[in-house]
Amino acid sequence: MRSLAVYLAALAFGSAVLAAPKGCAHKVKETVVPPRGWTKAAPAPADHTIELRIGLPQPNFAELERHLYEVSNPFHERYGAHLTKEEVEALIAPHPESIQVVDEWLLSHGLSPEDLSRSPAQDWVKIEVPVRLAEKMLDTEYHVWVHEASGESLVRTTSYSLPENLHEHVDLVQPTTLFSTFKKMRSTARFSKTTPPVPVASAPPISDPTASGGKVDASCNETITITCLKQLYNAVGFTPSSKNGNKIGVTGYLGQFANLADFELFNEDQLPEAANATFNVVSVNGGQNDQDPDDAGDEADLDVQFAFGLTFPTPATFFTTAGSPPFIPDELTTSNSNEPYTEWLDFILEDPNPPQTISTSYADDEQTVPVSFAQRVCNGFAQLGARGVSLTFSSGDGGVGDGDPDPATQECISNDGRNVTRFIPLFPPSCPFVTAVGGTIHIPETAVDFSGGGFSNVFARPAYQDILVPEFLSKLAPGTFEGLFNPNGRAIPDVAAQADLFKVFIGGEAFLIGGTSAASPTFAGIVSLLNGARISSGLPPLGFLNPLIYAIGAIDPSAFNDITVGNNPGCGTQGFNATKGWDAVTGLGTPNFGRLKEIVTLDFIGLELNIGGTSVTL
């Protein structure tokens, strides 16, 4: 009966029963150095179920990338002509031969078509298997690894193999070598109960020539509110349409729940016209949004209150994705769900109509993410950008360091086996297809000292940074931080926004919150307002932002408030300095919504610009 079942399964696959060719030995596909801070505890339970994600090659990704840059480049005739979901999927689809060879391999291990699921483009195959079968398929041994600092556990291996004939047909298999512990930014509650009285309430406004009306309330140097952000970023008086199709979203992970009662309190306090407003909650992979006040998440409440408060009445969505460490291997749970982020990416790529702007305040040290995995996730962001989605990510709260907010305790040791000191950028902010947002504080704005910034060790510098980033590097004294960073890497952050002293309601009480976790939803809110203005003008959404914002930064510096004071210490150094132009602390600076709105509501094609004294027609 077993042979008959396998034969019928093969017919369903559309091929004969084909096991791996005789004599086709396994060959190592990927190996990583055991990561610092993780200890091998015990062999993984043989019956423990893991969900293998098999990534098939995307042979036409370079073509997708070409489309992405053409539709995102304001100087190109195709600017704004975003691709459809179906067009993107056609460009990333694997060769039929790859699909067939992988199917045959799975079939040779007794797995039927009913056991697996595929992404719409068929570039990912997912299948749940017990550890004992995964070890046989990958010629490896899984172990339970324990993170010494947090106590979190993962079932992982440091090396796996595939039959030689599969190597050209499989990019990666995970979870195998991925030790990333995707986490929220380190928001910190500065005060409990309620914010203290602000003694400068009657003080004269702060003069700021780029702010709305040229001034900002004095209280904004003590407490950041929606009013402060609208004043500071020149957005007073603009109300977006709620009916033009524009939408904004924020993501939530790791048991971070957005409390609706807190959202009401926030609006009553800061935005009375939105007193009865709410937001959609979309569950991903069984994600919950517990409304017990004791379970209200600081990160989730911060994100929804400021992103959705800035953009009211734009329709808003909170994506809550299941999966939260620590995994307890002794419980033999049905699956190891420490990797919720890929579940959200799968979900949003399948959504035919995602929000045009999405903010995320979660990341991990880039060096904990295998290069193959980082590249595939980054490719997923490119797909969203090509479809017209703008993605913002917090740049990090450890300066140039490893995420620890105390520069004095950062180890900043490389994970490549050399154990040398290196600056530690974060991923996904280091992906060149997203917009990384650093942080500022006070008015006039200065760089906040925890603002994450630096240079990727995985991704090369993209072309859109080839003018402004080398200018910054040229200002560094010879030998500055030599060997500590990759000067040819993708530079972060791209932009910045206020990142401290945000008044947030959590569990029914008011707190002041800090972190670039505040900067990302703030900048995303400004982007969503720009999208609303464009859509109401009959123009497409902005989509992938970076080619546009770097072009604007080079041509019209008034569109961003240049931050020239401050630095981001870490790894036993003072970090980089904020300086004129782009810098590795605040990027291009903070947004001037009024000026940006004037720019982005123009039809760029056919527009005449004066660049360096030369007239240029787009």
**Tokens 């972190």, residue located:** 515
The whole-chain average pLDDT of the chain stands at 89
Is 330 a known ligand-binding residue?
no
Q: Lowest-pLDDT range, 139-153, 375-389, 473-487?
A: 139-153
Mean pLDDT over residues 136-159, rounded? 90
DSSP for 88-146?
HHHHHPPPHHHHHHHHHHHHHTT--GGGEEE-TTS-EEEEEEEHHHHHHHHT---EEEE
Q: Which of 344, 263, 248, 343 is nearest to 296 (CA)?
A: 263
pLDDT at residue number 3: 38
Name the β-bridge partners of 248.
316, 357
Highest mean pLDDT among 410-414, 486-490, 601-605: 486-490
Category of 32 on φ-ψ map: left (φ > 0), alpha (ψ -120 to 50) or beta:
beta
What is the distance between the alpha carbons of residues 459 and 315, in angstroms, rounded to a whole number?
34
- The pLDDT value given to residue 192: 38
Digit-coded pLDDT (tens) for 181-214: 766 655 444 433 445 445 555 689 999 999 999 9
pLDDT at 253 over 80: yes
Please provide the DSSP assignment of 9-75 as one string.
Answer: HHHHHTS----SPTT--EEEEEE-PPPTTEEEEEEPPTT-EEEEEEEPP-TTHHHHHHHHHHHH-TT
Confidence of residue 339 (pLDDT cuts 50, 70, 90): low
Tell me the angle at which helices 593-600 and 546-555 cross, rounded to the nearest 10 degrees. Answer: 110
3-state SS, residue 601: coil
pLDDT (0 to 100) of residue 605? 53
The pair of structure tokens assigned to 546 is 């970076």
Q: Which of 175-179, 475-479, 526-530 has the lowest mean pLDDT?
A: 175-179
> What's residue 24's pLDDT?
76
Residue 404: per-residue pLDDT: 66
Contacts of 72 (CB under 8 A, 6+ apart): 79, 385, 543, 544, 545, 546, 547, 548
Q: Are 202 and 222 in contact (CB under 8 A)?
A: no
d(CA 60, CA 124): 15
Residue 43: pLDDT over 90: yes
Indicate if the pLDDT at residue 462 is higher than 80: yes
* Count, residues in the chain: 618
Question: What is the tens place of the pLDDT at every residue in 235-251?
Answer: 999 999 999 999 999 99
Packing angle, helices 340-350 and 371-386, rounded to 10: 30
Using a 10 angstrom Cβ sphere, with 0-12 exposed, 13-18 middle and 19 or more buried, the burial of residue 464 is buried
Yes or no: say if 546 and 435 are a contact pair by the CB < 8 Å rule: yes
pLDDT at 147: 82
Predicted pLDDT at 231: 98
Domains of the chain in start order, with CATH, are 2-58+93-178 (no CATH), 188-611 (3.40.50.200)
Residues of 470-488 as b/e, b for ≥16 C-beta within 10 angstroms? eebeeeeeeeebeebbbee
Query: Which pLDDT band holds residue 322 (cuts at 50, 70, 90)?
Result: confident
- pLDDT band, very low/low/confident/very high, at 11 (cuts 50, 70, 90): very low
Residues near 55 by Cβ (< 8 Å), separated by ≥ 6? 123, 124, 170, 171, 172, 173, 174, 372, 376
**Of 562 and 340, more confident:** 562
- Nearest-5° angle of CA 136, CA 140, CA 145? 125
The pair of structure tokens assigned to 217 is 């309330």
Task: Say if residue 5's pLDDT is above 50.
Answer: no
For the stretch 401-453, pLDDT in tens is: 876 666 666 778 888 778 889 999 999 999 999 999 999 999 999 999 999 99
Best CA proximity match to 34, nearest among 138, 146, 139: 146
User: pLDDT tier at 585 (50, 70, 90 boundaries)?
Assistant: very high
State yes or no: pLDDT of 553 exceeds 70. Answer: yes
Catalytic residues: 299, 303, 517
The pTM is what? Answer: 0.92
Check whether 328 is labelled as a binding-site residue.
no
Helices 516-536 and 593-600: crossing angle, nearest 10°? 40
Provide the CB-side half-sphere exposure for 12 (13 A, CA): 14
- Distance, CA of 577 to CA of 571 (rounded, Å): 15
Neighbours of 193 (CB within 10 A): 8
pLDDT of residue 13: 42
In the block, tokens 């004071």 appear at 565
Mean pLDDT over 168-184 rounds to: 86
Residue 402: per-residue pLDDT? 75
pLDDT tens digits for range 257-309? 999 999 999 999 999 999 999 999 999 989 999 999 999 999 999 999 999 99
Half-sphere exposure of 123 (CA within 13 A, CB side): 22
CA-closest candidate to residue 590, choices 566, 558, 567: 558
pLDDT at 254: 83
Q: Position of tokens 């460490």?
A: 325
The answer to whether 535 is a known ligand-binding residue is: no
Residue type, 505: F
Percent of the chain with pLDDT over 90: 76
The amino acid occupying position 58 is Q
Q: Is the pLDDT at 490 greater than 90, yes or no?
A: yes
Place of tokens 């349409």: 241
DSSP state of 581: S
β-pair type (188-189, 509-514): antiparallel
438 is in an annotated binding site: no
In which band, very low, low, confident or very high, does the pLDDT at 81 lie, cut at 50, 70 and 90? very high
Structure tokens at 39: 């200890």
What confidence category does residue 1 fall into, taking pLDDT thresholds of 50, 70 and 90? very low
